Each structure stands twice: as C-alpha cells, then as structure tokens.
A and B are shown apart, each in its own frame.
Chain A
Amino acid sequence: MKVLIPSALRSYTKAMNVEAAGATIGQLLADLDRQYPGLRFRMIDEQDRMRPHMRFFVNGVQTFDMARALSPADEVQIVQALSGG
C-alpha cells in the first residue's frame, strides 16, 4: 500500500511516497523499517508506542492504535504534528 512519509524522514526513504505491506499499522512499520533501517525508531519508541509528535492516518482518519487493521488498498499518511520552535 501507499505510505506518505513526513519530510523529516525522507532522508531515509529518498521519496515522499513509498510502498509497504502489513496487516496492521505495527506490521507496516516493521516492513518500512526492513526497507529503511532505523526509520521505525524515529516514530515508535522502545515500548512500541507512537511518539508524541507523530500522527498516523489511514485513508484520512487518524489512528493511535498500532494494531489497527489494514488492507492492501488502504493509504497511510504519516505526518508530524504542527508544532515546533
């Protein structure tokens, strides 16, 4: 499925949109980390929780659930929260 990568992480993927597979958000991230080593830890902490400023959307609907089910036709958007300074 198509995955939108936030700008801060495109140094890993060299692209804005990539393809990845997984039956859940967690599995999708594992596949992304397999393709782009180190990517997952920048978004997910060592307790397997989404980091505070990362946001995950499936077909435009936000989710905080790593076990959220996915289908191959879904589109996943990973974005950073709009905050900084």
Chain B
Amino acid sequence: MARTTKKPAPAPRRTSARARRTAQRSRKVRLSLLVATRKGAWLFHGDHARKSWRANGPHFLGHIVSHLVLDPRDGRTLLAAAKTGHLGPTVFRSADWGRTWTEARRPPAFPKAPEGEKGRVVDHTFWLTPGHASEPNVWYAGTSPQGLFRSDDGGVTWESQSGFNEDPTFKSRAGGPQDGTPDGPKLHSIIVDPRNRNHLYLAMSGGGVHESINGGKSWTPIIHGLEVVEGFDASNFAFHDPHCVRLCPSNPDRLYQQNHCGIYRLDRPSKVWVRIGKNMPKRVGDIGFPLVIHPRDADTAWVFPMDGTSVWPRTSPAGAPSSYVTRNGGKSWRRLDAGLPKSQAWWTVKRQAMSGDSRDPVGLYFGTTSGELWMSRNEGERWTRIVEHLPEIYAVEIADVS
C-alpha cells in the first residue's frame, strides 16, 4: 500500500443547532471498538448506551492487521500493525480516526547483521503500546520474531531497542521459530508503569516475563512461581510461555497473567507469581489467552478459558464458551455465560481480542477467530453478539474518549 491515502474534502455545509449539540455530545463521549483481523481492520463506533454500533471499514482490506490501537494521550491518533501474506510488515498511522492513513517511513526492522552473520528479520509487528503520558510521541512495538522497538515520533520511524534485542542473553535463550506459535514467537504485553516512564514490562511467548527499570537499557526476568510444561527447566526463561500480562490500572503494583500454564497474580515488590488459577473449576481449568482487569478494582479480573488438554485444541472447553471473573484477586472464580451458546460453540479468543472499557458498569468485549464480536454492558453478567461475519479476529481494543 502506498504511503498515504487521501479522499477529496467534502463541500462545506451549514450546521443546525441540533446537529451542533449532537456533535458536541459525540465529541465528549466517544466509545469505539478497534478490531484487527486477518483480512483488515474495522472501527465500530458505539452510541452512548453502548447498544448500537456503527461499522467503519474495512481498512486495509486483505492485509493481516495484528493490532490497532488508539493513542490515549491525544485521543485521535491510531496505529495499525499490518502486513499482507506476501509483502513485508509495516505500521500505518492515522491522525483523523482512519479517514486517511500514512505508512511509517521506517517500520520496525532489526539492524543489518555484520558480514557473514545471518541476521534477524521482522516478520510482523504483533503488539503496539503507547508510551508514558509524559512522552507524547513515544510508542513501543513487539514483533515476531521477538524484538522490541520504540518510536519517538508517533510511529513514523522505529528504532530497534538494543538493550533487549542485542542482549546476548536474550538472543541465545529467547526461543526461536521452533518454540513459537503457529505464526512465530511473539513479543507482547509491553507495559509502561503509569508512575514511571522508565519502568517497563514485556512478555515473550517463548521467553517469559521481563522487567526494566531504566527505560529498556537492561532487563531482568520475573519468572519465579510460574510453572512450565512438564520436563522443562523452570529456571530457564526460554521455556516460559506467558500468553497475556496486564497491569492493574488502579494499582500499578499488581499484575495478572494468563500463562500457558495457568492464571497468576504478582504483587510488587514481590518477584514471585502466585497461581490463582488453581481456584478455577477443575473441569474448566485455567488455560486461556486473554485477560482483562477492572479499571478501578484491582481485585477484579476476567479470563476466557480454552481447552489445553491433549493436543491443545485451544477452543472453548466442552464447546461451551464462557468468561470467568474473580472479585477477590483470584481466591474464587465465577462463571459468566448468560447469553452465550451452551454447546457446539468451539471458539478461540486470542490474547489481544478481549478488552474492557472504563465505564460504570464496565463494558467487556471479545472477538472470536470465527469472526464474531460479543459484548457485555454489565461486567459479564449477560453477553450479546454485536457483530458477525468478520474475518478471523486478532485483536479488540477500546477507544474510549470521554
């Protein structure tokens, strides 16, 4: 796709007072779903009641869009991580809610290797995280193969973060294609501590969870307490497979993690994860991809279990999809499946495909690999399908400008 897309400007028209009030209201309260799929991206703009959703798209039809994220710092810039099946990866940027897009001048790419060495190649950018509030144009990107990149200009150019990418410890033990997902190993769950722009976390599908306290110059594994697949050495971070790590918005010293081997909680300054998933019903288990945390209550989190038995179908256990919620930091869990199919619904919800808004009650949203988008307006007590017939959904993010 070319670097810019532009549509002709509409002719100016007179605006009625009623239209101005509506526009003012919509400017104040804007809730949109940013849906990244294997065949393009869609924006779904919700009304104030979160009952009707207006589709805007497709954007980049035919492109594999891994992640579509709004910059919460300016409330209007979107970044999309995209590639096609054949073309190299890139990042697109829009400053006008998707009306026009500009391609990154220098997308995330590993440094050229010295003569005689093979060198790594970014297959795709998998994860996008806006930087700290005090650094308006900073973004972080996680790639496949696993690499960390940073932009200081709003996503126009990206730099390889040598503190991670060139660290010999990670290069030798961060896993490889043979350890990764079907689409390759991922660097994901990039977290910026809202209190300190130099305090970062990240996770790797083949490589565990890591922390930096110096802006990414150096990293330390945080893997104590995490289990690994039987037979592997848990002291070697290369054998760890975190699926999704989230920081509590209301308590940045608490993190939750959905791991290949269970659901965990970490309360800093401790460095030891606690497997709270052991309290999930045994017939369901605590394997899954996504995890969502309540915006105001650090004891409340939602997961979406999947079947991790035998050959790992990664579909809803027993064909009965459900979310589970804990309201006490993982001591107990409750099933939330009202409105969801009760049988023969073999869904997969990917790690970035479940999100929550910041309203009260919290709205929850998830997208399936079968192209359906579901939501709950009451924190999971009842679910409603709001969109169907989309391609395979990779990510669902909330753009809540209110």
A residues bordering B, Cβ < 8 Å? 8-9, 11-12, 14, 36-38, 41-49, 51, 53-54, 80-81, 83-85
User: With A and B bound together, what is the CA distance between A36 and B105 in angstroms?
Assistant: 12
Given contacts A8-B84, A53-B85, A54-B86, contact A47 B119 (CB under 8 A): yes
Give the top 9 A-B pairs by smallest Cβ distance, nearest first.
A53-B86, A46-B109, A11-B2, A47-B119, A42-B87, A45-B121, A80-B86, A42-B88, A11-B1
Residues of A within 8 A of B2 (CB): 11-12, 14, 36, 38
Cβ of B103 under 8 Å from chain A: yes
Q: Closest approach, in angstroms, between the C-beta of A4 and any C-beta of chain B? A: 15
User: With A and B bound together, what is the CA distance between A14 and B110 in angstroms?
Assistant: 29
Contacting residues of chain B (1-38) with chain A, CB-CB under 8 angstroms: 1-3, 5
Interface string of B388-399 (1 = CB under 8 A from A): 000000000000
B residues bordering A, Cβ < 8 Å? 1-3, 5, 84-88, 90, 103, 105, 107, 109-113, 118-122
Residue of B nearest to A36 (CB): B2
* Main SS class of interface, B: loop
Q: Do the beta carbons of A47 and B112 come within 8 Å of each other?
A: yes
Q: Closest approach, in angstroms, between the C-beta of B243 and any C-beta of chain A? A: 25
Can you list 14 A-B contacts (CB < 8 A)? Answer: A8-B84, A11-B1, A11-B2, A12-B3, A38-B2, A42-B87, A42-B88, A42-B90, A44-B88, A46-B111, A46-B122, A47-B110, A47-B120, A47-B121
Given contacts A46-B119, A47-B113, contact A41 B107 (CB under 8 A): yes
Residues of B within 8 A of A9 (CB): 87
Given contacts A46-B110, A47-B119, contact A37 B88 (CB under 8 A): no
Q: Closest approach, in angstroms, between the C-beta of B198 and any C-beta of chain A? A: 28
Q: Do the beta carbons of B118 and A47 come within 8 Å of each other?
A: yes
User: With A and B bound together, what is the CA distance between A38 and B86 in angstroms?
Assistant: 15
Q: Closest approach, in angstroms, between the C-beta of B141 and any C-beta of chain A? A: 14
Residue of A nearest to B110 (CB): A46
